């Protein structure tokens, strides 16, 4: 192995630092001290009032940005009824602190962290299942640590040190033993921070754009279909204002093809090129096919219908298999299918579920779901085209968002060095 390969330097370095010294390698405990956190549970927190806000580990997993700015995040208060007398002054967060979630249900989330970059003079505590780390000698600029603890070399160490079976955890002792690395020149740290933060800002802006489009479509749907108890929608194309709408049961506007479904057992299933659909979309690819047309799949899985973790109705086209966990409907007109697909994905179907322990949407209940439709097919076409255009726009923006993520991962790999071949 060459001497160059053994040096702790990133693959990509800003031009003014290419001849700079290699990065420093230190033990976590040499750079950070751990401070006491609290154990306030969710029922001890609220979003309405209080004097002190609190970081719950679940929010690190699901909500907070890598660089935590309290003015841009929705953070719960500790209930005024809870005593704060035993909280030590050093337990309050300061800017530059790293807060780790010490528990996770999967390896990818264990030790996930944020860096506090702006507190806006608001008191903040680090709470249940978190570890609070504070720099000893301020060797790192604010913001650098947030990205540092997302780098592959450190994430692998944290994952290696995690323990547990169903729930994985990282202790303060094990965290203190990992290696951290950084350039000694704070100007280089700032350059890296600014570069990655600008990309994060771009990703955030794109995420907000996608969400805004989804909300716009949701609002549009509420106006394109009649409200409960009404005959006509609020929003109509001018040329169809006097055209009637009808409400018909789903079984009257579509043919049910459930009888054609043939379950494939695990032993009989052979890998192939044909998509095999279930309640949550494609679950496998198999040989052969039972359908070869444009159809609408609708989940019959009650849990999926309540959680709405996947579009409840989704189009399939061409050669496919469908298992017994999704209904199969065929429409005479594609534009009618488009309208009904969107409509079913916008309403609650809980009233049509049967069973308690494992609720399902059976065929009998499926076929009585009331579907509002304009009588005039030209109006149906206009509505379908509008909804399809919205979906295409949303899909394009989602694809753009998804393209940013691997770009950032690749940049992270280049801007932070690998520990491979480095003495520890």
Query: Residue 370's domain is classified under what CATH number?
Result: 3.90.220.20
Here the tokens at position 144 are 């650098």
Looking at the domain assignment, is residue 109 inside a domain?
Answer: yes
Give the mean pLDDT of 330-353. Answer: 95
On whether both 164 and 289 belong to a single domain, the answer is no
C-beta separation of 277 from 283 below 8 A? yes
**pTM listed for this prediction:** 0.81
On whether both 223 and 360 belong to a single domain, the answer is yes
On whether both 387 and 347 belong to a single domain, the answer is yes
Is pLDDT at 9 greater than 50 in this prediction?
yes
Looking at the domain assignment, is residue 194 inside a domain?
Answer: no
On whether both 148 and 79 belong to a single domain, the answer is yes
C-beta separation of 49 from 33 below 8 A? no
pLDDT of 229 reads 82
pLDDT of 114 reads 98
Mean pLDDT computed over every residue of the chain: 93
Distance of CA 326 to the CA centre of its chain: 25
Give the mean pLDDT of 405-409. Answer: 92
- Give the angle 78-81-85 at the CA atoms, nearest 5°: 75
pLDDT of 2 reads 46
pLDDT of 422 reads 63
Is pLDDT at 4 greater than 70 in this prediction?
no
What is the total count of domains within the chain? 2
- How do residues 161-170 score in pLDDT, each as one tens digit? 999 988 999 9
Percent of all residues in the chain with a pLDDT value above 90, rounded to a whole number: 87
Give the mean pLDDT of 353-378. Answer: 93
Is pLDDT at 261 greater than 60 in this prediction?
yes
C-beta separation of 300 from 326 below 8 A? yes
Question: What is the distance between the alpha carbons of residues 215 and 221, in angstroms, rounded to a whole number?
Answer: 10
Across the strands, what pairs with 315? 296
Is pLDDT at 424 greater than 70 in this prediction?
no
Here the tokens at position 387 are 């909804």
Looking at the domain assignment, is residue 100 inside a domain?
Answer: yes
Looking at the domain assignment, is residue 408 inside a domain?
Answer: no
Got the DSSP string for 281-327?
Answer: EEEEEESS-SEES-EEEEE-BHHHHHHT-S-SEEEE-SEEEE-TTEE
Q: Domain span at residue 370? A: 213-399
Across the strands, what pairs with 194? none
Give the mean pLDDT of 189-201. Answer: 96
Distance of CA 411 to the CA centre of its chain: 21
Give the mean pLDDT of 318-346. Answer: 95
- How do residues 238-255 score in pLDDT, each as one tens digit? 999 989 999 999 999 999
Give the mean pLDDT of 195-199. Answer: 96
On whether both 248 and 372 belong to a single domain, the answer is yes
Q: Which of 92-101, 136-145, 210-219, 305-314 has the lowest average pLDDT?
A: 305-314
- How do residues 51-85 score in pLDDT, each as one tens digit? 999 999 999 999 999 999 999 999 999 999 999 99
On whether both 122 and 261 belong to a single domain, the answer is no
- Tokens 């009331």 sit on residue: 370
Is pLDDT at 3 greater than 60 in this prediction?
no
On whether both 304 and 391 belong to a single domain, the answer is yes
| Tally: H helices and E strands in the chain | 12, 23
Looking at the domain assignment, is residue 148 inside a domain?
Answer: yes
pLDDT of 421 reads 65
pLDDT of 34 reads 97
On whether both 147 and 277 belong to a single domain, the answer is no
pLDDT of 269 reads 85
CB atoms within 10 A of CB 255: 11
Is pLDDT at 1 greater than 80 in this prediction?
no
pLDDT of 199 reads 95
Is pLDDT at 231 greater than 90 in this prediction?
no
On whether both 88 and 158 belong to a single domain, the answer is yes
Looking at the domain assignment, is residue 409 inside a domain?
Answer: no
On whether both 228 and 313 belong to a single domain, the answer is yes
Question: What is the distance between the alpha carbons of residues 118 and 129, in angstroms, rounded to a whole number?
Answer: 22
Looking at the domain assignment, is residue 248 inside a domain?
Answer: yes
pLDDT of 378 reads 96
On whether both 231 and 174 belong to a single domain, the answer is no
On whether both 167 and 230 belong to a single domain, the answer is no
Question: What is the distance between the alpha carbons of residues 50 and 197, in angstroms, rounded to a whole number?
Answer: 31
Looking at the domain assignment, is residue 255 inside a domain?
Answer: yes
């Amino acid at each position: 192995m060459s001497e160059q390969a053994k040096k702790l330097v990133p693959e990509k370095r800003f031009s003014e630092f290419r001849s700079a010294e290699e990065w420093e390698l230190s033990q976590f405990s040499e750079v950070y001290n751990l401070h006491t956190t609290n154990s306030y549970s969710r029922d001890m927190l609220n979003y309405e009032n209080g004097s002190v806000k609190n970081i719950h580990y679940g929010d690190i997993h699901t909500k907070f940005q890598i660089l935590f700015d309290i003015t841009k995040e929705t953070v719960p208060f500790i209930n005024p009824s809870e005593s704060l007398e035993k909280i030590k002054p050093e337990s309050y967060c300061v800017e530059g602190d790293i807060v780790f979630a010490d528990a996770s249900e999967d390896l990818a989330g264990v030790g996930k962290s944020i860096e506090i970059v702006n507190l806006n003079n608001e008191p903040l505590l680090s709470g249940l299942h978190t570890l609070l780390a504070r720099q000893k000698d301020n060797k790192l600029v604010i913001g650098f640590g947030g990205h540092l603890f997302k780098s592959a070399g450190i994430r692998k160490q944290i994952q290696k040190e995690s323990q547990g079976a169903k729930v994985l955890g990282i202790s303060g002792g094990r965290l203190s033993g990992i290696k951290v690395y950084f350039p000694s020149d704070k100007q280089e740290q700032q350059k890296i921070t600014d570069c990655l933060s600008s990309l994060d800002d771009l990703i955030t802006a794109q995420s907000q754009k996608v969400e805004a489009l989804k909300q716009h479509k949701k609002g549009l749907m509420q106006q394109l279909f009649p409200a409960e108890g009404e005959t006509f929608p609020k929003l109509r194309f001018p040329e169809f204002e006097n055209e009637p709408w009808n409400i018909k049961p789903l079984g009257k506007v579509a043919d049910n093809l459930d009888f054609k479904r043939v379950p494939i057992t695990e032993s009989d299933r052979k890998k192939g090129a044909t998509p095999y659909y279930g309640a949550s979309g494609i679950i496998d690819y198999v040989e052969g096919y039972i359908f070869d047309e444009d159809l609408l799949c609708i989940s019959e899985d009650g849990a999926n219908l309540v959680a709405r973790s996947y579009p409840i109705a989704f189009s399939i086209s061409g050669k496919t298999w469908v298992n017994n966990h999704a209904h199969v409907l065929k429409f005479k007109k594609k534009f009618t299918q488009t309208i009904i697909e969107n409509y079913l994905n916008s309403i609650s179907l809980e009233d049509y579920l049967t069973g308690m322990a494992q609720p399902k949407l059976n065929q009998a209940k499926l076929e009585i779901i009331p579907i509002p439709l304009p009588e005039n097919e030209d109006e149906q076409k206009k509505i379908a085209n509008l909804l399809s255009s919205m979906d295409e726009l949303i899909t394009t923006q989602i694809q753009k968002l998804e393209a940013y993520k691997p770009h950032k991962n690749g940049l992270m790999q280049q801007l932070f060095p690998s520990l491979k071949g480095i003495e520890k």
